[in-house]
Amino acid sequence: MSRFVVFSFVIVAFCSSVIAGEFCDANMRIRRNVATPTDGGIREDVPTKYRAKFDLWKAELLSTEFGKAQWSQFETNKAFVLKIEVTGKRDKGAGTGDLEFNDAGELVGATVTLGGDIDRGYPNSYYYPVLESLAATETATTHNGRLLAVTKFSHELGHVDQILRESGELLRLQDKLVPQYSSIFLKNGWNTKDNKLVDLAAKMGGTPTEIWEHREYKSETIALQFLAEKLSGEPYRCDVIRRVKRNVAGNARQYQSLFASLPIFSDASCD
């Protein structure tokens, strides 16, 4: 069985959402016909037990110009509400979902969910070549996991940015058709060449695997841009960059072009 089919099965079976973070949501939960906010921005839903941690993660994000820009684009958008919540149910993972659309089909809200322990746990290198690369800093002084946590945070904000740039109509169509694709795929012996699946993929702009992969890798390039600034001057900077390059070359060659345009990825000083 090809690796593509295996990963297709895993993603379709466990990630029926087309929007997923470090660990997949079972459903991205779209709400329709929500009133367009006039007092939007960022709403923080952080329990007292996680407030000190979250404040450190937020401070790390805002310590860079890139992170400030990520935060500001949502904080100043009064026609969009970004809810950021921290929960123990997510553990070391994070996710993006709860999309809200107004009557005109425009996206007006989304939720980023951060696990209370995102300062621990490195995801796999196959889909997360940047986040996994931070394992190279384990023996270095890395602010007690804050670097890992804030990079996961930046990755999720990257998902929201992607969603805002996509067609609301396409997002809603994908949300409708992905479960249909999943149902057929699991019943036909995992045959991705099934004409019904080929037709659904054409309508959605790709298979669920391809849609999910592209979003994850795109958010990884955003996380890498954050790290490019955050690691400036750090002695372990090149260790991280080399590991990212190895991860991408070994596992994500078809998406290498997404990374190749970033200056830090082509930095010859870390070859």
Nearest to 153 by CA among 242, 46, 246, 78: 46
Q: Cα–Cα distance between 25 and 94 in angstroms, integer?
A: 9
What would the two tokens of residue 235 be? 């002695």
Q: Which of 27-31, 54-58, 92-96, 141-145 has the highest mean pLDDT?
A: 54-58
pTM metric for this prediction: 0.88
Burial 189-199 (b: 16+ CB within 10 A, else e): ebebebeebee
Report, as an integer, the average pLDDT of 160-180.
89
Q: Cα–Cα distance between 93 and 121 in angstroms, integer?
A: 8
The stretches of the chain forming alpha helices (DSSP H) are 3-14, 48-62, 65-75, 129-133, 146-165, 168-187, 195-204, 208-230, 237-251, 256-260
Q: What is the pLDDT of residue 268?
A: 80
Q: Is 94 helix (H, G, I), strand (E, B) or coil?
A: strand
φ/ψ (deg, to 5) at 176:
-75, -40
Check: CB of residue 22 under 8 Å from CB of residue 155.
yes
Q: Cα separations (Å) of 130 from 34, 66, 136, 224, 259?
A: 35, 16, 11, 6, 10
What would the two tokens of residue 118 be? 């995102």
Q: What is the pLDDT of residue 15?
A: 43
Report, as an integer, the average pLDDT of 218-239.
93
Q: How confident is the model at residue 5 (pLDDT cuts 50, 70, 90)?
A: very low
- Residue 8, CA atoms < 13 Å, CB-side half-sphere: 23
Of 2-6, 35-39, 83-87, 105-109, give the lowest mean pLDDT range: 2-6
Percent of the chain with pLDDT over 90: 58
- Categorise residue 55: left if φ over 0, alpha if ψ from -120 to 50, beta otherwise: alpha
Q: What is the pLDDT of residue 25?
A: 41
Q: What is the pLDDT of residue 88?
A: 93
Report, as an integer, the average pLDDT of 44-54.
97
- Categorise residue 88: left if φ over 0, alpha if ψ from -120 to 50, beta otherwise: alpha
Q: Cα–Cα distance between 190 and 93 in angstroms, integer?
A: 28
